[in-house]
Structure 1
Amino acid sequence: MSQLLLIEDDLELSNLLCEYLQSQGHSVSQAFDGEAGVSVAQTEQFDVILLDIMLPKIDGFEVLKRLRMTHLTPVIMLTAKGDDFDRIFGLELGADDYISKPFNHRELLARINAITRRVEFVKQSEIAEILEYNHVSLNLAARTVHVNKAQLTLTGTEFSVLQLLMAQVGKVVTKETISQEVLGRRLAPFDRSIDMHVSNLRKKIAQHSAANCIQTMRGSGYVFLAQ
């Protein structure tokens, strides 16, 4: 059973989602404004946070900013349909995934389950392998990444993307493969979530290394360079 936090100000929608997710075996806590959401998220432990953008007091973006200062809990943003700015900005701030309103409850459940399966797999893994290429060192067991000995702070999704690329060092990994392996879903047309996660990785790596270790293969995907 996963522990979920739903931060949504629409009381009716929140209660419907809560009832549905609980019927599917999840435990759900609710918060109805941004400040309450931050408070609950910082005092209790959750497996996934479902975060609406339009919230009273402080909006979802500010909630995410505050959470990412201290927490790497996976966050799924609830965005307005067709609003690319909200989706991209949320991913830039460290959201793991997003789903557009109105959405099918089963699709949301699939997104949650994909994230929790990925996290659970990592927790149960006994692999102590360390991947080291191009000044980047990724420790699978410790879930840490260092660039020239400086430790990076990555979200769970960013870590999984980097792990997948480094495990296939020198080979092109398609966006479709990354979406399936990391997000647990097929890549939709015009979906820029993978691009944004890779962009975030590049920015964080670039703070400690001048090497352009992740290259874009136009029309194909990404490749992590060995050197």
Structure 2
Amino acid sequence: MKLLVIEDEIKLAEYLRKGLSEEGYVVDLAHNGIDGLHLASTGDYDLLILDGMLPGIDGLAVLTALRQSKQTPVLMLTARGQVEDRVRGLQTGADDYLVKPFAFSELVARIQVLLRRSHPSRSDAEPTLLHLADLDVDLVRRKATRAGQRLDLTVKEFNLLSLLLRRHGEVLSRTELAEQVWDMHFDSETNVVEVAVRRLRNKLDTPFDRTLLHTVRGMGYVLEARE
């Protein structure tokens, strides 16, 4: 899931990016209304977190302009906590409203609710428990086990494994893995994919007799249970 945070307080914006990335989300930042509206209008985001008071264009103006072309879920995150402020934000088109200061756990819970509302068919169609041989992955609890043994994975390792498992048997290129897991365009000088695959393989395959993660020379990587 890809989120856009439009927040002019730099420290808060970086805090949100770090925390939400650790929750498994890909996060872009904008620090003013003009840049935020441009990214929100041209990008493909699952949800926006929008500050109400922004330089350039304030949050309500961003929301008004955005609603003319897109219905991306918007969570307003602002210091304006009066009833009339909340009503105005919701009437303008916000899907939820959270007042600063806030608990990060509540923010995450509200994001999850909005994403479930906006992607009901995705929740119904896609399984949350994935299996391959003796590998089990719980996408909701973000837990992976092999032969009943818990795999201690980082956020990126879990996201990488989940992507490979959802498309098991399919060879995924380094470019696609970089774009899907790290939200970055692949650079031949960057070995981030190879390093992550090596670390994942050490946890996923090395302690066990059967290899599941395979390298396909010149093409990429595939997760499959081979005889």
Aligned to 1:51: 50
CA-CA distance at 1:88 after TM superposition: 0.7
Shift of 1:107: 0.5
Please list every run of at least 4 consecutive aligned residues from structure 1 whose deviation after the TM superposition is greater than 6 angstroms: none
After superposition, give the CA deviation of every residue in 1:59-115 in whole Å (9 maximum; x if it has no partner): 000000000000000000012263222211010111100101000111000000111
Give the secondary-structure state (helix, strand or coil) at the position aligned to 1:102: coil
Offset, 1:117: 2.0
What SS does the corresponding residue of 2:119 show, helix, strand or coil? Answer: helix
> Equivalent residue for 2:24?
25
State the partner residue of 1:13: 12
CA distance in 1, matches of 2:72, 2:44: 9
Could you tell me the TM-score, scaled by structure 2's length? 0.53
What's the secondary structure of 1:57's corresponding residue?
coil
> Which residue of the partner structure matches residue 69 of structure 2?
70
Larger Rg: 2
User: How far off is 1:124 after superposition?
Assistant: 5.4
TM-score, normalised to structure 1, is 0.53
Letter in 2 for 1:122: S
Offset, 1:25: 0.4
- 2:87 is aligned to 88
Consecutive unaligned residues in structure 2, runs of 5 or more: 126-227
Native 8 Å contact 1:50 1:77 kept in 2 = yes
Give distance in 2, aligned partners of 1:82 and 1:28. 25
Q: Distance in 1 between matches of 2:37 and 2:106?
A: 25
C-alpha change, 1:29 and 1:85, in structure 2 (3 Å) is: same
Kindly provide the amino acid, as one letter, of the partner of residue 28 in structure 2.
Answer: S
Unaligned runs of 5+ in 1: 127-227
Assess if the C-alpha contact under 8 Å between 1:48 and 1:75 holds in 2. yes
CA spacing shift, 1:124–1:82, aligned 2, 3 Å: closer
Asked if the contact 1:49–1:74 (Cα under 8 Å) also holds between the matched residues in 2, the reply is yes
Paired with 1:122 and 1:66, the residues of 2 have a C-alpha distance of 28
Q: Equivalents in 1 of 2:61, 2:15: separation in Å?
A: 25
Q: Which amino acid aligns with 2:74?
A: V
Letter in 1 for 2:63: L
Distance 2:28 2:68 in 1: 22
Q: Count matched residues.
A: 125
* Residue 136 of structure 2 corresponds to residue 114 of structure 1: no
Distance across 2 between alignment mates of 1:67 and 1:104: 27
Name the counterpart of 1:60.
59
Q: Distance in 1 between matches of 2:98 and 2:90?
A: 12
Distance 2:12 2:25 in 1: 17
Instruction: Give the RMSD, CA atoms, in angstroms.
Output: 1.4
Contact 2:52 2:80 survives alignment (8 Å): no
Identity of aligned residues (%): 44
Provide the C-alpha distance between the structure 1 equivalents of 2:80 and 2:32, rounded to a whole number of angstroms: 21
Q: Specify the SS of the correspondent of 1:21.
A: helix
- Listed one character per residue, the Cα deviations across residues 122-154 of structure 1 (whole Å, up to 9, x for unaligned) are 34558xxxxxxxxxxxxxxxxxxxxxxxxxxxx
Q: Distance in 2 between matches of 1:20 and 1:85?
A: 30
In 2, the alpha carbon distance for the partners of 1:119 and 1:89 equals 22
